[in-house]
Amino acid sequence: GQQLNQSPQSMFIQEGEDVSMNCTSSSIFNTWLWYKQEPGEGPVLLIALYKAGELTSNGRLTAQFGITRKDSFLNISASIPSDVGIYFCAGQPPVDMRFGAGTRLTVKP
């Protein structure tokens, strides 16, 4: 099946710093989604992208759907301690959904 490569695997940052993570695939996706998962919980949708080139923001989060439809990035600006968690990218090719391996974010106060 389609493989999603997500990087970095983990990040340790200081509160207030900006964060950037990305996903690439060898296949084209129709939709890119970014989720956040906290321990013992299911993923929660942060941002959904539906068109190549689309740039969408949700508060301090910004995500873009790559022009080639094979990549996406998520930026978090001015990180705060509650941003801690695992961030997953997911692609829909077009119906079921495949997940990246996740980026584990730690924010030091």
- Residues binding other proteins (CB under 8 A): 1, 31, 33, 35, 40-45, 48, 88, 95-102, 104
Q: Which helix (H) or strand (E) holds 61?
A: strand 61-65
> With respect to other proteins, which residue has the nearer C-beta, 35 or 73?
35
CA neighbor of 31 nearest in space, from 92, 102, 84, 87: 92
> With respect to other proteins, which residue has the nearer C-beta, 45 or 80?
45
Contacts from 59-65 at CB under 8 Å and sequence distance 24+? 61/34, 63/32, 63/34, 65/32
As measured in angstroms, the least distance from the Cβ of 9 to other proteins is 10
As measured in angstroms, the least distance from the Cβ of 78 to other proteins is 25
